[in-house]
Amino acid sequence: MRRLRYGEAIREAFMYLLDHDPKVFVIGQGLWSPWYVGSSMTDLDKLYGPERIMDSPVSELACTGAAVGAALCGYRPIVVHPRMDFLLYAMDSIVNQAAKWAHMLGGQAHPAVTVRSIINRGGEQGAQHSQALHAWFAHVPGLRVVMPATPEDARDLLIAAVWCDDPVLYVDDRWLYELEEDVGDVTVRSLAEESPKVRRHGTDVTLVGAGYSTRLCMEAAKQLTLDGIEAEVVDLRVLNPLSIEVPAESVARTGRLCVVDGGWRTCGLAGEVMASVLERTGPRVMRAAPKRVTLPDAPAPTSRVLEEAYYPNVDTVVRAVKELF
């Protein structure tokens, strides 16, 4: 065991992949700048050279499409989008092409491409530099979506994503980069077998999150003990395909559910989790109507006073959970 930060864990995953797999290369904006992608890729260009760490023009569509094409020809490229907002130019390559390729061509070919997309919000950046659109992508069959919440997952799920034979959207979050935890050695996992995990055991209520929202759930759970509430925290980890067994089994025991998500409310991840859990458990186990904590259905503002009200925080989660009792 050793201590590792989330941002550095991502960097270790890149190094592991580049060391172990000559078919891996990386394209994206900012890869030669120490500033663009936080601590998560520092100096990789110096270690592996510009042929494998390719900084790119401002061309999200062409870069993503090119990665899909190279993947169809046997490579395992990773495209990096320093902000999820930028990747909207690349929607076609991801949604129409990569996600559907295997299915629409009769299961004969498959792009093993990884699209890494960073949620980068706050700091008065506003409507086009703040979005967390993971739920949109989790809606698309054929596209695996992972959202790590811990340093160990940040590392091991990136490795699993790249070595997965399907296209994967890997979503990390700048708000997690400084999170430091104990990690073991690299474990090579098959992404298809990864599912939600209970991060904290409790008996009174189930909190479900993914990525940064899992951290909010963990912090809220700590605070809730002061009120005598023992919360169980489930970290989804993989949003698509969504495996509902672990959260449903937890809710069957606790009888209460609060889903926390950094995306919008309507047609979002939180609603999907609530529906899937309830379909599985039936209404009778529920001791209270389920709750969700999400962004309000509005674009991100800039002014600090509005930004403070916009993003859910630990207190928002604690308050929502208390209303279940």
Partner 1 sequence: MSVQMHLGVLADPSRGSEPVDIRGEDPGALRAYLRKMVLIRRAEEIIGDRVASGEVRTPCHLAIGQEAIAVGVSASLRPTDRVFGAHRSHSHYLALGGDLEALFAEVLGRDSGCSRGMGGSMHLYAGHVGFLGSVPIVAGTVPLAVGAALAARKDGRGDIAVAYFGDGAAEEGAVHESFNLAALWKLPVLFVCENNLFSSHLHISLRQPGDRVARFAEAHGMEARTVDGNDVVAVARTVRELVGRLRRGEGPAMIEAVTYRWRGHVGPREDDDVGVNRSRDLVLWRRRDPVRRLADAMASARLLDEESFAELQTQVAEEVRDAWARAEKAPWPPREALLSRVYWHGRGQ
Ligand X SMILES: Cc1ncc(C[n+]2csc(CCOP(=O)(O)OP(=O)(O)O)c2C)c(N)n1
Helical (H) or strand (E) element with 78:
strand 76-81
Are 132 and 117 within 8 A, CB to CB?
no
> What Cα–Cα distance (Å) separates residue 294 from each residue in 37, 210, 306?
25, 12, 15
Torsions phi, psi for 141 (to 5 deg)? -65, 140
| CA 189 from centroid of its chain's CA atoms | 17
Closest separation in Å from C-beta 86 to ligand X:
4
Looking at the DSSP assignment, which residues form a beta bridge with residue 173?
A: 119
**Looking at 18-26, 109-117, 122-130, 167-175, which segment touches partner 1 (CB under 8 A)?**
122-130
Judged by CB under 8 A, the chain residues 168 through 197 that form the site for partner 1 are none
**Of 63 and 258, which CB lies nearer to ligand X in the complex structure?**
63
With 0-12 / 13-18 / 19 or more C-beta atoms within 10 angstroms meaning exposed / middle / buried, residue 217 is buried
Looking at the DSSP assignment, which residues form a beta bridge with residue 259?
A: 208, 292
The first and second tokens of residue 249, run together, are: 């089994």
| CA 215 from centroid of its chain's CA atoms | 12
Closest separation in Å from C-beta 299 to partner 1:
7
**Of 1 and 58, which CB lies nearer to partner 1 in the complex structure?**
58
**Looking at 140-148, 231-239, 265-273, 304-312, which segment touches partner 1 (CB under 8 A)?**
304-312
Q: Judged by CB under 8 A, which of 125, 195, 223, 243 binds partner 1?
A: 125
Q: Judged by CB under 8 A, which of 225, 302, 313, 325 binds partner 1?
A: 302
Are 86 and 79 within 8 A, CB to CB?
no
**Of 29 and 64, which CB lies nearer to ligand X in the complex structure?**
29
38 binding partner 1? (CB under 8 A): no
303 binding partner 1? (CB under 8 A): yes
Q: Judged by CB under 8 A, which of 301, 314, 316, 322 binds partner 1?
A: 301
Length of the chain: 325
Closest separation in Å from C-beta 29 to partner 1:
8
Residues that bind ligand X (CB under 6 A): 29, 58, 60, 86, 89
Which does residue 189 touch among partner 1, ligand X, none (CB within 5 to 8 A, set by kind)? none
Q: What is the 3-state secondary structure (H, E, C) of 221-264?
A: HHHHHCCCCCEEEEECCEEECCCCHHHHHHHHHHCCEEEEEEEE
Which does residue 235 touch among ligand X, partner 1, none (CB within 5 to 8 A, set by kind)? none
Which residues make up the interface to partner 1 (CB under 8 A)?
29-30, 32-36, 55-62, 85-86, 88-89, 123-129, 296-299, 301-306, 309-310
